[in-house]
């Protein structure tokens, strides 16, 4: 069920901000408050509720009657939930933000300015800070190692301060903006992934299509992290992250690079599992890996859809990756100057 709360706004706003809620609690209200305070006003907010039981989406929508409120009816996951939000959006650009994040007042203005300064680029990502400690990064876009392992660049590293607009491998789905026509042309997020890794997959497919992603470091959000899923080390997050990492690797890696990087991917997997073992957290990643291997045909079917459409080969993709294994081990940010 959808309720159109944007009757007094232009039929085609420049930006549609998409928010997906699931058991988001009071943080959702803070998120919507920050969107209402944006200095860039030519935007709408589309809020999708993935069948939350806490009443927070309904309360937030009531407090912000301008919001377009959509009730999914069930928990669709991040990928399908965001795709649903995009279908209700009217903007030329889609800005995505997590319900447990707040945007600085000029967040949208900075992103829109970047689209005007770089008209050849159609996907942008933000600087994310830890809400509980804004002196540290939650991420500077997503990075991808030559082994096929993705990570959020600079996670929990000290915020480096002023940075230029730079290129990253892909955007973090928690704070990004993409041209609506491009999102539609790419088929949106892959709903087979449900949640975790779907933003990496979209960014990888954009790379394969010859699209670039730019980091806009002065477009800032502050992220609490894991409010709906129990945190990045919860069993739910680790299971889906492990399974989807394998599927994205199989689905998106170009043929030559796939075979050349396979030994490194296996080694990186063994190394990560050893780290899980030292923490006594081996059950969830093992279940995720087994689920990924058991249903590997899902990734293989997706690969048959993706690879024939690519315009960039193995070398072009490899050039955008991080080759230093310490970047992955230390979760350093990987950005390239324009």
Cα gap 20→93, rounded to integer Å = 17
CATH topology of domain 2-223: Spore Coat Polysaccharide Biosynthesis Protein SpsA; Chain A (3.90.550)
C-alpha pair distances (Å), 189 with each of 78, 91, 122, 185, 284:
9, 18, 16, 11, 24
Apex CA 74: angle with CA 72 and CA 77, to 5°? 85
Place of tokens 């549609």: 16
Residues 6+ apart with CB under 8 A from 8: 66
Place of tokens 């990756």: 321
Q: Which of 249, 232, 246 is nearest to 286 (CA)?
A: 246
Q: Are 110 and 216 in contact (CB under 8 A)?
A: yes
8: left (phi over 0), alpha (psi -120 to 50) or beta: alpha
Residues 6+ apart with CB under 8 A from 324: none
Q: What is the pLDDT of residue 225?
A: 72
What pLDDT tens digit does each residue of the chain (338 aa) get?
454 554 454 579 999 999 999 999 999 999 999 999 999 999 999 999 999 999 999 999 999 999 999 999 999 999 999 999 999 999 999 999 999 999 999 999 999 999 999 999 999 999 999 999 999 999 999 999 999 999 999 999 999 999 999 999 999 999 999 999 999 999 999 999 999 999 999 999 999 999 999 999 999 999 997 555 455 678 999 999 999 999 999 999 999 999 999 999 999 999 999 999 998 889 999 999 999 999 999 999 999 999 999 999 999 999 999 999 999 999 999 999 98
Return the number of other C-beta atoms located less than 10 Å from residue 276's C-beta: 18
Q: What is the pLDDT of residue 1?
A: 45
55: left (phi over 0), alpha (psi -120 to 50) or beta: left
Q: What is the pLDDT of residue 74?
A: 95
Q: What is the pLDDT of residue 60?
A: 92
Strand partners, 2: 70
Strand partners, 103: 221
Q: Which of 22, 139, 4 is nearest to 79 (CA)?
A: 22
What residue spans define the domains of the chain?
2-223
Cα gap 238→121, rounded to integer Å = 32
Q: Are 206 and 100 in contact (CB under 8 A)?
A: no
Q: Which of 171, 108, 117 is nearest to 139 (CA)?
A: 171
Q: What is the pLDDT of residue 234?
A: 86
Q: What is the pLDDT of residue 2?
A: 53
Cα gap 26→153, rounded to integer Å = 28
Name the helix (H) or strand (E) containing 121.
none
């Amino acid at each position: 069920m959808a309720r159109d709360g944007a009757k007094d706004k232009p039929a085609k706003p420049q930006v549609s901000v998409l928010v997906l809620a699931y058991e988001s609690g009071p943080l959702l209200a803070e998120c919507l408050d920050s969107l209402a305070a944006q200095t860039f006003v030519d935007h709408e907010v589309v809020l999708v509720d993935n069948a939350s039981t806490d009443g927070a989406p309904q309360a937030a929508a009531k407090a912000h009657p301008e919001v377009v409120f959509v009730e999914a009816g069930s928990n669709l996951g991040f990928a399908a939930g965001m795709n649903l939000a995009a279908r209700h959006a009217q903007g030329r650009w889609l800005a995505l933000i997590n319900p447990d994040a707040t945007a600085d007042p000029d967040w949208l203005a900075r992103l829109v300015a970047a689209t005007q300064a770089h008209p050849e680029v159609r996907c942008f990502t933000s600087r994310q800070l830890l809400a509980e400690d804004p002196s540290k990064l939650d991420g500077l876009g997503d990075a991808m190692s030559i082994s096929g392992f993705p990570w959020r660049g600079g996670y929990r590293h000290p915020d480096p301060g002023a940075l230029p607009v730079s290129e990253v491998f892909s955007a973090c789905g928690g704070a990004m903006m993409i041209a609506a026509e491009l999102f539609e042309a790419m088929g949106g997020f892959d709903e087979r992934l449900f949640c975790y890794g779907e933003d990496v997959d979209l960014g990888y497919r954009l790379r394969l299509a010859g699209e670039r992603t730019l980091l806009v470091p002065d477009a800032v959000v502050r992220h609490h992290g894991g409010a709906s899923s129990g945190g990045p080390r919860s069993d739910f997050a680790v299971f889906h992250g492990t399974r989807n990492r394998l599927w994205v690797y199989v689905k998106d890696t170009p043929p030559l690079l796939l075979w050349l990087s396979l030994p490194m991917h296996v080694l990186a997997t063994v190394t990560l599992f050893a780290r899980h073992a030292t923490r006594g957290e081996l059950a969830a990643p093992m279940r995720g890996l087994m689920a990924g291997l058991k249903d590997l045909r899902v990734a293989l079917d997706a690969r048959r859809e993706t690879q024939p459409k690519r315009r960039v080969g193995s070398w072009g993709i490899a050039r955008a990756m991080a080759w230093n294994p310490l970047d992955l081990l230390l979760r350093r940010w990987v950005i390239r100057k324009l």
